[in-house]
Homo-oligomer: A and B are copies of this chain.
Amino acid sequence: MVEGAGSRPRERAAMISISDLARRAGVRASALRFYETEGLIASARSAGGRRYYPKAELRRVAFIRAAQAVGLSLDDIRNALAALPGKRTPTKEDWEKLSRSWRPLLDARIAEMTRLRDTLTNCIGCGCLSLKACALYNPDDAAAKRGPGARYLLGDSAGDLMKKRPKARHAL
């Protein structure tokens, strides 16, 4: 049964194999299987158990990759994807809306990077390293880390903006 949860069988031609999706999305097939176990994407199956995807799934993978580039964790991304319509294939507008929601995050990251760039050279060389006032040493600044494990540039301001803050200890 090469069809989704929908009612009408999709055209075979409209469905692509895992290696096709992998190639077109620029990820490994193993990553797609992993995304599936993680609930980020879904697949239809052939009679023999092989995965087939509607071409629209490419857009979903694109979103995932782009969101990662912005610094979101797969967990964040799963949450974001939950905002998409469940039953119908998401439209261009659905995706645009989702993508637009990143703008504040991107703006914040850019601003943070800029601040870092502008204060860094002075701060490292200066004598203020033990002072709480130093721009590099203020733990209440946006830059924090995401707990042990993978570390994102400028910490979890993603968590801030996407609502859902883990422990977040000391910051740079």
Q: Is A14 in contact with chain B by the CB < 8 A criterion?
A: no
Number of identical monomers bound together in the oligomeric complex: 2
Chain A interface: which size bin? 35 or more
Do residues A172 and B68 form an inter-chain contact, with CB atoms below 8 A?
yes
Contact across chains for A125 and B95 when beta carbons are under 8 A apart: yes
The A interface, classified by DSSP as helix, strand, loop or mixed, is: helix
Q: Does A87 contact B (CB under 8 A)?
A: no
Shortest A71–chain B CB gap in Å is 5
> Are B100 and A106 interface neighbours, CB within 8 A?
no
Q: Is B110 in contact with A151, judged by CB distance below 8 angstroms?
A: no
- Which residues of chain B are near A93, meaning CB under 8 Å? 125
Interface residues of A (CB under 8 A from B): 24, 26-27, 55, 58-59, 62-63, 65-66, 68-71, 92-93, 95-96, 98-100, 102-103, 106-107, 109-110, 113-114, 116-117, 120-121, 123-127, 129-130, 136-137, 139, 143, 149-155, 170-172
